[in-house]
A and B are shown apart, each in its own frame.
Chain A
Amino acid sequence: MYMDKKILKSFFLSVFLFAIMSCDNNNNGKTEEDNLKNKEDKITRNQDDAKLFVTATENYIRLINYNNYLKTKDSLTVETKFFLQSLNNEIQNRLSNLKKVSKDELILLPSKDEVLFLDKIDSVHKSEKDYLIKLDEMLDKQLSVMENLIKKSNNIKMNVLANETEDFLKAQKENVKKIISKR
């Protein structure tokens, strides 16, 4: 059947104008459910980020405490103690960076670690290697938190921080492994 081109043209023009008129700039073609889901997703992601930050902070505090604890042990060589001192300083820096970011992102971080396990460890005599293996495990734990953060977080600041920390932790793990291999 012959369709009049003029009718088609006017129809398409009208539909085009209708689309322009009814276009919602904030909507971008999404439904109400999509928007709500999107909002909830963002909130959940922010909450997850906050949890990971809290865990990372706790891990840092434990690492610092553990390092401080190890420094008092006679079984550790002077070089290892130097290394631990330097590692502690680096961790302190990173913790303060973490705190800065958390302030911007409105995340409340713990100021101390509630887990009080350190006194119990000393009851059994342990070699330097044992302590360093424990340290390596703790670094592993923190590394996994950072990897999670890299994977899940959409926040640029957090991502940058996590990436940088990941590199740092990997490097420190290498150092620890080197020391362990020498022992």
Chain B
Amino acid sequence: MPNSTEAIGLVGVSKAYPGINALTDINFSVSRGKVHGFLGPNGAGKSTTMNIITGLLHESAGTIRLMGQECVPSERKKLIGYLPEQPPIYPQMLVRDYLEFVAALHGQKTTNAKNSVDKAVASCGLEEVLNRMIGNLSKGYKQRVGIAQALVLGAEILILDEPTVGLDPVSVTEIRNLIQNLKGEHTVLLSSHLLHEISLVCDDITMINHGKLVATGSLKEIEQKFSGAERFTLKADQFNQEIRQKLKTSLDVDSEQKNDLWSLQTNKKIEAKKLLAFLVEHQADVVEFYQDKTQLEDVFKQAMKKEMQ
């Protein structure tokens, strides 16, 4: 059922080409004002899904809702600002001319176009390069111009396909900050291979593989669902073979030495305080002990592994 907090909703969306199912029964929704991560390995169907949501491709089955309303492709393209993996820029145009051209392409009259261009320029920090030729800009700036063209439309929903791909770390941080600033005013569906970036920016995530939905939900829910292993780091003066053996037999915790630290890992749910109590009880002389935060990369690998099985 559509709800007022939903910006994008996919219900049973499939895409079939002769002899191949690119997408099969994809269901997920993106809440308004959130940044929603869209993950999957190469060829998983992320770009196909994004192209379908924008209206560039037509779905073979299923429905797509935008702002709670079921929309056909021609309606969808008016409601979404889209940055594809390759920014759609004309290298020979000046930044201002390009953005005004994009605004005009979307039917904005001169005054409105100027206002929306100014707003997009301010949001993306393009003031300095406004009168420069796009082809002469750095890759980071070209990506910003790409995001600005998606903003010029004035749509609440933005779809950004790999906006940080190929950028240097400084530019990645800048684009990340830019996306974070868009949060609230815009709903962003963001695809990226940089899982660390996703974990920093996104509230919710959806994972797909081989054109099928693997998981969707909040980052925390997904982590809980797929965090296969609990990891701890230990520094102890008396963590000898005997204690390690007992740890294995009693709590099923494996230990591995990394320099002067020990990495403890178990596939079972175990509370940190229970493990620490065990170590103290067995007089391991604990100097340092903490639970490692589950990395999205681990979750992603685990999810893909489960999906393959």
A binds B: no
